[in-house]
Chain A
Amino acid sequence: MQSVTGSAQYEGVSLSPGIAIGPAFHLKQIDLEATKRFSFVVDNMEAELKRLDGAVQKSRQQLHTLQHAMESSKKKEAAQIFSAQHLLLSDVLFLDKVRALMTRKRVNAEHVLVLEIETVKSKFNDLHDEIFRIKSLDIQDVYYRLLRNLLEIEHVRLGAFGRLDTAVILVAEKLLPSDIVLLDKKHLLGIVLEEGSTVSHVAIITKSLGIPAITNIPGISTMVRSSTSLIVDGYDAKVIVNPSHADLSHYKRKQELGRRETAAHCVRHSRHTTDGKTIKLEINVGSLEDIDEGARLGAEGIGLLRSELFYLSRPRLPTIEEECGFYREAIGKNSGATTTIRLLDIGADKSPSYLGMQREDCSQLGTRGIRYLLENKPLFQSHAGAVVRAAKFGPIKILVPFVSLVSEMKETREIIRTICRKEQLDERTIPIGMMVEIPSTALSLSPFIPYADFFSIGTNDLAQYLFAASRENGKLEPYRNQSGALLVSLIRSICSQVSLHGKEVSVCGEIAADPETAKQLIGSGVTTLSVQPKSIPALCKLVSESSYADLKQSVDNFFCQ
């Protein structure tokens, strides 16, 4: 089929709603047909069988790793796919048949395996049942992985998709269940497929991630070249190839409208649970663009503005005016909602070169956060000066990082009070809270309560220190996640200590983005969740559909058993 040169429109079936506009990327599966046509006589069958066993082992390991990676990033549906495929690879009957045929025919493993996959595939497809067809896709997926491992080419599977640096709309004939890992890519704007079911894994995952996707457009992957401009309309199940200027402006408006509707839905529903408990949903800001996105998606403020972002993005120490300008811009974008500015959390892995910080052996356990600021008073004075001055442009709260001593809060409050007086600001209008991220602080919070107006739990660091597993080391993820229940239990204890004093507790770690964990946090007494903007819509829905009493009961039952 010829590639499309002019503008063209195709209709298909929607897998996931939304509008995506961007360049196409044609993902081609590795063509394994040749393994059917070529067979090689094997002299040493023992070695060949060993090679098959090695590839089975390798495939199992990969599936195991993928399952854990998905579990760690709280993608339960995707984790289940890999766990089911791991089980499929334990199908002794299938592999025994492959071994027996290899030995009888004295030919290579790939050739026998690919023919057996074809047999199983056709048996399932003959059943003409959607569920069996999906099952057949799982079988193909897992045995094609085995085949690629036998050929030692699994690493080339993604081709250029694994090395993209721009966001694209993925175009493919079909996606197999394990291609779901592709959907983890932050560069994925939308998906267009030639074939795929509305009840497939891909449909489930794209919907949950909010990625617009369309299927049933035969020949699209040959009609579209990589980098061709595309529009995916997941509402009306349409794809437009080489859109005109008029199409582009129409769909940009539709995209914006869709975003606003999502935000409006959030604003209408997010504030209360079904039994009237108010839960605030705020955003953690990684860049100033996040603030616009957060506002569109219905966030109610900034729960965490990391001031070190500004320091780390520049070659020299900022002046008070420059730094204050940064906060002023953020506050302006936040349109009247509260901006929580966390004081510089430098040290550990974050150290601007111009500060000449000394390297420490265990920097994560060293002079970071408020410890560093109190040791470097001139820097602290100028930094706090910029933060306090920002309060003239909109409501702010100040968050003190890495607090482990009551004296640190006392001294910080005193410094801020002095600056407020100098700036002629009423200190009572700037609440000062503390990060709870060190186990000793979390376990004995009472002495800190008089000196903090609110508390924000940094779960990433708290888990790192609680389980003695560095957050920088991906391999240690299982250690950090070893007991979510323990972390929730600690958070529950923090909430019960703080609630007696009528103060707020928020969670600003990414665990709050996971719906199941968010339910436990709300049930434990957390009143504000601060997450990445993209997680806001799902949390809005969760809050508006949950009963606080039920969530609390469920957490109480769990911990009182």
Chain B
Amino acid sequence: MKQKKILIVDDDPNIRILLSLNIGAAGYETFTAENGLKGLELIKQDKPDLIVLDVMMPQMDGWEICKIIKDHSDLQSIKILMLTAKNAERDKMIGRHILKADDYMTKPFDITELLQSIEKLLAAPE
């Protein structure tokens, strides 16, 4: 079966390394972007199966990327897992129910839970 591609968009280099290593070890192909604009470029270019997306980033934040992807008929099937320090109930409502991210996890996070979420999202029908 074709290896699933996961894009990690986060401005924190440590998070990008940590996620790349763990998600890669779980058998997925990973690539990363350090800000929203670069992320959007890679999304259009390589069309990943899932994006692990931070919210607070320079140039273009995760909210905007999420809206662009979920509005676009050719991109909306890409699963979005928001991973952010924004842990207020209001933020979870925005991410999950207003901007329609497929899952919402807050930092600090448990890598096992994150991998489980990725597996579940990629197993779900488009």
Contact = CB atoms under 8 A, between A and B. Distances in A.
Contact of B98 (A32, A108, A159, A226): A32
Contact of A34 (B66, B67, B72, B93): B93
B70 to A, nearest CB: 8
A31 interface: yes
B12 interface: no
Interface of A: prevailing SS: loop
A46 to B, nearest CB: 17
Nearest to B93: A38
B90 A156 contact: no
Given A151-B98, A153-B98, A163 B68 contact: yes
Contacts of B38: none
A40 B90 contact: yes
Contacts of A110: 90
Interface in A150-180: 151, 153, 155-156, 159-160, 163
Contacts of A108: 90
Contacts of B63: 153, 155-156
Contacts of A159: 64, 67-68, 71
Contacts of B94: 151, 153
B74 interface: yes
Contact of B74 (A40, A151, A227): A227
Contacts of A156: 63-64, 66-67, 99
A160 B68 contact: yes
A28 interface: yes
A197 interface: no
Contacts of A480: none
A43 to B, nearest CB: 12
A163 B73 CA distance: 16
B72 A226 contact: yes
B99 A153 contact: yes
Most chain A beta-carbon contacts within 10 A, residue among B66, B71, B97, B99: B71
Nearest to A3: B73
B87 to A, nearest CB: 13
A38 B68 contact: no
B71 A34 contact: no
Contacts of B98: 30-32, 34-35, 151, 153
A333 interface: no
B126 interface: no
Interface in B59-96: 61, 63-64, 66-68, 71-74, 89-90, 93-94
Contact of A226 (B64, B73, B97): B73
Contacts of A163: 68
A538 B104 CA distance: 52
A26 B67 CA distance: 13
Interface in A13-44: 26-28, 30-32, 34-35, 37-38, 40
A34 B74 contact: no
A225 interface: yes
B71 A40 contact: no
Contact of A225 (B64, B73, B100): B73
Nearest to A27: B71
B67 A30 contact: yes
Contacts of A34: 93, 97-98
Contacts of B74: 225-227
A160 B99 contact: no
Contact of A26 (B66, B73, B90, B97): B73
A159 B73 CA distance: 13
A495 B29 CA distance: 71
A37 B66 CA distance: 21
Interface in B30-80: 61, 63-64, 66-68, 71-74
B97 A28 contact: no
Interface in A222-249: 225-227
Contact of B71 (A3, A26, A35): A26
A156 B89 CA distance: 20
Nearest to A225: B73
Contacts of A28: 71
Interface string A352-384: 000000000000000000000000000000000
Contacts of B68: 159-160, 163
A166 to B, nearest CB: 13
Contacts of B71: 26-28, 159-160, 226
A31 B89 CA distance: 17
Contacts of B89: 38, 40
A156 B66 CA distance: 9
Contacts of B66: 156
Point out which of A35, A108, A151, A156 has the most chain B C-beta atoms below 10 A from its C-beta. Answer: A156
A155 B63 CA distance: 9
A225 B75 CA distance: 11
Given A26-B71, A28-B71, A227-B74, A155 B93 contact: no
A3 B74 CA distance: 13
Most buried by B among A35, A110, A160: A160
In order of increasing CB-CB distance, the 4 nearest A-B pairs are A34-B97, A225-B73, A156-B67, A156-B64
Interface of A: 3, 26-28, 30-32, 34-35, 37-38, 40, 108, 110, 151, 153, 155-156, 159-160, 163, 225-227
8 contacts: A31-B98, A37-B97, A153-B99, A155-B61, A155-B64, A156-B63, A156-B99, A160-B72
Given A34-B97, A37-B97, A155-B63, 6 more contacts: A3-B73, A26-B71, A28-B71, A30-B99, A38-B89, A226-B74
